[in-house]
């Protein structure tokens, strides 16, 4: 029973990281109807930025905040400079641009920081004042921090004018433009926010999987699975989907023979399964198309 609880709690912790990635993916999807395949590599790059700052002597929390801020700016710039030219291009062209970004970030990270595995410090103290055999301090911190971030994101969209404008731009760009919302900049802001949330995910997952240029491939896949399971049109659903996927991953790894070696295959099965049996996800809107 203890093992089961441990697995579940650790699953929730890793799942909350998937939630971050899923949320980042869903935010861009909501605004543009596209999955950003480079989301994972962008998060990985942000994590390297944080690692470099720590190496320069910055306290780990300061490095975290700076990296999140830098990622925001980088996200805005990437949208304005690289993604904007294909805004109205066919889907394939946009996907190819995302893949190009993925490859560039991966290669440049390997070039600057090399492909060797690096340890990454946890944001949370080893000693939390109490001991638990069920969950480690890092995992507990991850759950708390991601819940905090998600609450902030929710409050931003629900209670601020900019948040409202962003939702308007995503829901109905033409009408939003008519009432004076700068849709283009809202998109850029969305990219910035998504990059920041991704950075949070990357920095939180790095102490668990170690820092290396390919560390996000699996995380991104699980993030996609979480986003799909929750429903790509529902940010709340994406968060829940991420958590569920994290827990399922741990259960499958432990209880299904061969499961620990085939974690990516499990993500594949999950993605295809959701798309085939419940394409709208658990909480997504079902899109009805008229002929």
Q: Note the residues at the interface with another protein (CB under 8 A).
A: 33-35, 37, 82, 85-86, 89, 91-93, 95-97, 99-104, 106-108, 110-111, 217-218, 221, 224-225, 228, 258, 261-265, 267-268, 271-272, 275-276, 279, 291
Nearer to another protein, 141 or 231 (CB): 231
Beta bridge partners of 118: 211
Nearer to another protein (CB atom), residue 59 or residue 273: 273
Distance of closest approach, residue 58 Cβ to another protein, in angstroms: 26
CB-wise, 124 or 224, nearer to another protein? 224
Radius of gyration (C-alpha) of the chain in whole angstroms: 19
For residue 184, the minimal CB distance to another protein (Å) is 18
Nearer to another protein by C-beta: 35 or 64? 35
Q: Residue 35 CB, nearest distance to another protein (Å)?
A: 6
Distance CA 140, CA 21 (A): 18
Is the separation of the CB atoms in 266 and 259 below 8 Å?
A: yes
Q: Helix or strand or coil: residue 233? A: coil
CB of 10 to another protein, least distance (A): 21
Contact at 8 Å (CB) between 178 and 168? no
**For another protein, the closer CB: 101 or 165:** 101
Name the minimum Å distance from CB 151 to another protein: 28
Indicate the residue among 114 and 152 with the shorter CB distance to another protein. 114
Q: How far is 164 from 181, CA to CA, in rounded Å?
A: 10
Provide the terminal-to-terminal Cα distance of the chain, rounded to the nearest Å.
54
Question: Distance between CA atoms of 99 and 34, rounded to whole angstroms?
Answer: 12
Q: Which is nearer to another protein, 136 or 235 (CB)?
A: 235
117 Cβ partners below 8 Å, 6+ apart? Answer: 210, 211, 212
How far apart CA 145 and CA 37 sit, in angstroms, is: 25
CB nearer another protein, residue 172 or residue 214:
214
List the beta bridge partners of residue 211.
Answer: 118
72 sits in the region (left: phi over 0; alpha: psi -120 to 50; else beta) called: alpha
Under DSSP, is residue 127 helix (H, G, I), strand (E, B) or coil? coil
SS3 of residue 118 by DSSP:
strand
Is residue 201 a contact partner of residue 40, using CB atoms and an 8 Å limit? no
């Amino acid at each position: 029973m203890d093992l089961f609880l441990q697995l579940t709690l650790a699953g929730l912790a890793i799942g909350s990281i998937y939630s971050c990635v899923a949320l980042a993916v869903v935010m861009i999807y909501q605004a543009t109807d596209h999955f950003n395949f480079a989301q994972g590599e962008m998060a990985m790059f942000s994590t390297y930025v944080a690692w470099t700052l720590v190496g320069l002597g910055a306290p780990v929390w300061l490095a975290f905040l700076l990296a999140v801020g830098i990622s925001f700016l980088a996200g805005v710039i990437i949208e304005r400079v690289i993604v904007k030219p294909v805004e109205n291009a066919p889907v394939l062209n946009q996907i190819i641009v995302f893949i190009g970004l993925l490859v560039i970030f991966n290669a440049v990270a390997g070039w600057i920081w090399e492909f060797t595995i690096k340890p990454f410090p946890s944001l949370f103290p080893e000693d939390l004042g109490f001991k638990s055999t069920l969950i480690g301090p890092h995992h507990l911190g991850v759950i708390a921090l991601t819940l905090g971030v998600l609450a902030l994101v929710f409050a931003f969209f629900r209670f601020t004018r900019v948040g409202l404008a962003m939702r308007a731009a995503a829901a109905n760009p033409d009408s939003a433009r008519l009432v004076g919302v700068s849709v283009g900049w809202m998109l850029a802001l969305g990219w910035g926010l998504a990059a920041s949330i991704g950075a949070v995910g990357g920095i939180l997952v790095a102490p668990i999987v170690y820092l290396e240029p390919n560390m996000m491939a699996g995380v991104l896949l699980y993030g996609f699975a979480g986003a799909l399971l929750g429903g790509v049109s529902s940010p709340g659903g994406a968060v829940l989907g991420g958590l569920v996927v994290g827990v399922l991953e741990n259960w499958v790894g432990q209880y299904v023979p061969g499961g620990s070696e085939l974690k990516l295959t499990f993500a594949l099965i999950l993605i295809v399964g959701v798309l085939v049996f419940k394409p709208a996800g658990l909480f997504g809107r079902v899109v009805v198309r008229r002929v």
